[in-house]
Amino acid sequence: MVMDQSVVSGIKSTLRGELYTSPEIFELEKKNIFQKSWLFVGYEYQVAEAGQYITTKVEGENILITRGKDNVLRAFLNVCRHRGATLCSEPSGKAGILVCPYHSWSYGLDGSLAGVPKSSECREHLVNNDTYGLEKVHLQTWHGMIWLNFSEDPQPLAEQINNQILERFGELDTIARYQIEDLRVAHTKEYVVKANWKIIVENFQECYHCSAIHPELTAALPEFRSGVGTQNSVGLGATFNDEIEAFSISGKGTRPMLKGLLPEDDRIYYGMTIVPHVFINLTPDHVITHRIVPIDQDTSIVICDWLFDPEEIAKPDFDPMDAVEMFHRVNEQDFAACQWCHENMGSKAYKNGGILVPIENHVSKFYNYVLESIDMKGV
């Protein structure tokens, strides 16, 4: 059975159905892709002050991210070293010391074990021993976004991201101009999608479907009707329809361009994928991020954030919903389509995969990335 991006009579195939339905393949992807890659989990501004913390769940692990008294950002497994209770259950908070709710062991914001009540015989040994501090997780930031990596000795985050940025934009400056580090999330939506994470990525990477399922998007960005668009051309973005003022469902917009943008960024939409699990969408007055959290081979959660300039958010008449509704509809249309496909990945009809037409051939790069990662290229 050929699982590579084989060319049979000039036609490329998609991945075969089993790649989307097999629990074993999903485990391999977790081990070789998600456990080894930098994963986007939140924003630095959410943990800006010493003592602030946020919690999240990544790769089945409860995670705690703290800003220490020394102002250093750190990530830990949010698991007490005594009997394994979740140390911090709130999504966010501020504390000088973190106390486990079960038997009151306490930890510093740097993860060190600080106190072990009623254990005079072994307290000194436990507290003065790094071994019993919270388990560390690698953390790095990029444009104000926090990324974690579960591997023992990960490559630098910039190595994972910069090559992808260069392939999309030909330079690092374009995305830097949007100054994501200075923006704030004004709205978040979470979608539970009954589809394998790869279907969501490949859907985002092609616009062959845009004219069929995205009436609002193609009205705003007419070139998307062609199914090609500029999203796969290095450095190019899609130009707004002349009739609209902003990337919003009504087409109306009153916000100024984000600080740092150049005149040529006006009336342009850029989309890009950062494999394995992030999409970034740049518009003149807001940025939208998507992160896929794979739950199992059949289920993914997609968290979508809409970010704006905090000066705009602070205005009494600020209302993000016109902008939010635009990509929310796109998301619902996309995720419905992903589900149409996922439910048939186990069908005999898809045993050997489907067909990639030339207009979407670029998706085969993602297929090859997955196959190489799980060591199944050419199998």
Binding site for Fe ion (CB under 5 A): 334
- Shortest distance, CB of residue 229 to Fe ion, whole angstroms? 11
Run of H or E residues at 238 = strand 238-239
What does 155-167 look like in DSSP terms, one character per residue?
Answer: PPHHHHHHHHHHH
98 binds ligand FES (CB under 6 A): no
- Shortest distance, CB of residue 193 to Fe ion, whole angstroms? 13
Whichever of 305 and 334 has its CB closer to Fe ion, that residue is 334
Whichever of 85 and 376 has its CB closer to ligand FES, that residue is 85
- Partner whose binding site includes residue 178, from ligand FES, Fe ion, none (CB under 5 to 8 Å by kind): none
- Shortest distance, CB of residue 322 to Fe ion, whole angstroms? 20
- Partner whose binding site includes residue 371, from Fe ion, ligand FES, none (CB under 5 to 8 Å by kind): none
- Shortest distance, CB of residue 57 to ligand FES, whole angstroms? 19
CA atoms within 13 A on the CB side of 271: 20
85 binds ligand FES (CB under 6 A): yes
- Report residue 296 as tokens: 């199992």
- Shortest distance, CB of residue 111 to ligand FES, whole angstroms? 14
Of 40, 105, 169, 178, the one binding ligand FES (CB under 6 A) is: 105
> Which of 142, 179, 161 is closest to 43 using CA atoms?
142
- Partner whose binding site includes residue 85, from ligand FES, Fe ion, none (CB under 5 to 8 Å by kind): ligand FES
List the interface residues with ligand FES, window 52-81 (CB under 6 A).
80
- Cα(first)–Cα(last) distance of the chain, in Å? 7
Q: How far apart are CA 353 and CA 365, in angstroms?
A: 16
82 binds ligand FES (CB under 6 A): yes
102 binds ligand FES (CB under 6 A): yes
Of 31, 69, 83, 136, the one binding ligand FES (CB under 6 A) is: 83
Whichever of 82 and 138 has its CB closer to ligand FES, that residue is 82
- Shortest distance, CB of residue 203 to Fe ion, whole angstroms? 6
- Shortest distance, CB of residue 213 to Fe ion, whole angstroms? 7
Backbone angles phi, psi at 170, to 5 degrees: 80, -5
Rounded alpha-carbon distances, angstroms, from residue 354 to 5, 60, 227, 260: 11, 31, 18, 43
- Partner whose binding site includes residue 334, from Fe ion, ligand FES, none (CB under 5 to 8 Å by kind): Fe ion
Whichever of 105 and 308 has its CB closer to ligand FES, that residue is 105
Query: Number of residues in contact with ligand FES, rule: CB under 6 A?
Result: 9
- Partner whose binding site includes residue 73, from ligand FES, Fe ion, none (CB under 5 to 8 Å by kind): none
- Partner whose binding site includes residue 105, from ligand FES, Fe ion, none (CB under 5 to 8 Å by kind): ligand FES
- Shortest distance, CB of residue 250 to Fe ion, whole angstroms? 20
Question: Coil, helix or strand for 58?
Answer: strand
- Partner whose binding site includes residue 82, from Fe ion, ligand FES, none (CB under 5 to 8 Å by kind): ligand FES
135 binds ligand FES (CB under 6 A): no
Torsional class of 128: left (φ above 0), alpha (ψ -120 to 50), beta (otherwise): alpha
Long-range contact set of residues 181-184: C-beta below 8 Å, sequence gap at least 24:
181/44, 181/45, 181/143, 181/144, 181/145, 182/144, 182/259, 182/309, 182/310, 183/144, 183/258, 183/286, 183/287, 183/307, 183/308, 183/309, 183/310, 184/43, 184/45, 184/307, 184/308, 184/309, 184/310, 184/313
Neighbour order of strands in the sheet with 145-149: 39-43, 145-149, 136-142, 73-77, 61-67, 52-58, 92-94
Which 8-state DSSP code applies to residue 308?
E
282 binds ligand FES (CB under 6 A): no
288 binds ligand FES (CB under 6 A): no
Q: How far apart are CA 117 and CA 123, in angstroms?
A: 8
Q: Do 108 and 55 meet the contact criterion of CB atoms below 8 Å apart? A: no
Residues at the interface with ligand FES (CB under 6 A): 80, 82-83, 85, 100, 102-105
